[in-house]
Amino acid sequence: MSYRYSTGNSQLDNSIQDILHRAGASSNPELLHQMMVTVVKLAQDGADTGDLKIINTTLKEMRYAFKVMRPYRRVRKCAVFGSARCKPDTSDYQQAQVFSKRIADAGFMVITGAGHGIMEAGNRGAGRECSFGLNIRLPFEQVANPYIAGDEKLVNFKYFFTRKLAFMKDTHAVVCCPGGFGTHDEGLEVLTLIQTGKSHMVPIVFLHPEGSEFWTDWHKYNTDRLLKRGMISPEDLSLYKVTSSVDEACQEIGAFYRRYHSMRYVKDELIVRLESPLSDEEVEILNEEFADLVKSGSIEPTLALPQEADKTISHLPRLKFHFARRAYGRLRQFVDRLNSFDLPAHSSIEVPEAGAGGLLPSEMDEGESD
């Protein structure tokens, strides 16, 4: 087997292949080979101790997080962000708890940061069986809340960036409750990743209690400062919803998966998987209303392509088109529009993919650099 990514030493490359063979690496041997080549290159580069510690910890944390999440990859998940400082007697905490119970009742598992405050409310509302906790180790030692502590679905992280990746890789929805710098960082990172096409499209809800105006003020800043100065586009405001209603938050998330399932690039085409097929008339409406998204050709129905035909979802109907890979707010409007069409009779809902299959650009790497 030949690999483009090499240590530069054929004997070392052969040794790596031999190790993988003896380890029983029958799945994705090319990627595993490249990872081991990278380790050898670190040795060849003379990487210092600090750099190696970062890479070592990152690899360990991501491997373990993926292992914990893997058995639940066919279950929808909702990430709940919010302040660790909210007490159980506050409306912020209580609303987060009610929302988490409601979304768990709707079939979602809830992912929180495993701490106290809103995070505790999320795990408490969803219940231990429907909860994940992605805890961050801090100098003042954040202890996991009692509703996820000791659970096999609790993962501890040293680095915020690996924790954020674990959140986004496996979530199908994001809800930001009131919080401080950490909550704003998490919410804005999610928005940035989706706005730039670096992560899969998910519904994002900014939820606060009635009369709070917590996120309303933030949304006003976005419109009065960012939009008016041309720092964001009007369609970027379609990437999220601000509400004080748990009902509306649940509706926003549920409606997102009404007809839409997931999407993936195959070469230069965007494949949009659907829960149920669209009529010719509905496809024509999408072509008329979203011609600006199409780089060339048109939006058209398609069967599963070999490159993305996961056996669990290969039967799903699809649309394909040459997406210009910009204006992801408009792409969100496209998803909302196809979700607005009436459901055909006897249609059923498939659980969206988590992680593999829902991500966009990273799947399309043509090759690796030296």
Of all helices (H) and strands (E), which one includes residue 328? helix 328-340
* pLDDT at position 139: 82
Is 318 inside a domain boundary?
Answer: yes
What residues contact 148, with CB distance under 8 A and at least 6 apart? 112, 114, 123, 128, 131, 132, 133, 154
Tell me, yes or no, whether 230 lies in a domain: yes
Report CA 327 to chain centroid distance, whole Å. Answer: 18
CATH number for the domain harbouring residue 183:
3.40.50.450
pLDDT at position 313 is 86
Where a domain ends, among 69, 93, 110? Answer: 69
In this prediction, residue 308 carries a pLDDT of: 84
Annotate 337-368 with b (16+ C-beta within 10 A) or e (fewer). Answer: ebbebeeeeeeeebebbbbebbbbeeeeeeee
Lowest-pLDDT choice from 172-186, 240-254, 313-327: 313-327
pLDDT of residue 354: 40
User: In this structure, is residue 78 part of a structural domain?
Assistant: yes
Closest CA to 328 of 229, 233, 228, 257: 233
> What total of structural domains would you count in the chain?
3
At 14-68, the pLDDT tens digits run: 999 999 999 998 888 999 999 999 999 999 999 999 999 999 999 999 999 999 9
Put the strands of the sheet holding 269-274 in their side by side order: 260-266, 269-274, 318-323, 294-302
pLDDT digits (tens, 9 = 90+) for 93-130: 999 999 999 999 999 999 999 999 999 999 999 999 99
Express each pLDDT in 254-289 by its tens digit.
999 999 999 999 988 999 999 999 999 999 999 999
Domain final residue pick, 240, 256, 272: 256
The answer to whether 217 and 242 are in contact (CB under 8 A) is no
Are 182 and 317 in a shared domain?
Answer: no
Same domain, 302 and 323: yes
Residue at 310 is within a domain: yes
Instruction: Look over the chain and give the mean of its residue pLDDT values, rounded to a whole number.
Output: 91
Q: Is residue 251 part of a domain?
A: yes
- The reply to whether 4 falls in a domain is no
Residue 76 binned pLDDT confidence (cut-offs 50, 70, 90)? very high
pLDDT the model gives residue 348 = 62
- Within this chain, do residues 204 and 286 fall inside the same structural domain, yes or no? no
Judgement on whether residues 136 and 285 belong to the same structural domain of the protein: no
Q: Please tell me whether residues 139 and 240 are part of one structural domain.
A: yes
Residue 370, in any domain of the structure? no
The end-to-end CA distance of the chain, in Å, is: 19
Is 364's pLDDT higher than 60?
no
- Predicted TM-score (pTM) of this structure: 0.91
196 and 151 housed in the same domain: yes
Structural domain containing residue 281: 260-364
End position of a domain, from candidates 25, 44, 69:
69
Report the chain's C-alpha Rg in angstroms: 22
Binning pLDDT at 50, 70 and 90, where does residue 365 land? very low
The reply to whether 63 and 79 lie within a common domain is no
Based on the fold, state whether residues 234 and 297 are members of the same structural domain. no
Q: Summarize pLDDT for 230-262 with one digit per residue, the tens.
A: 999 999 999 999 999 999 999 999 999 999 999
Task: Please give the share of the chain, as a percent, with pLDDT higher than 70.
Answer: 92
Distance of CA 164 to the CA centre of its chain: 10
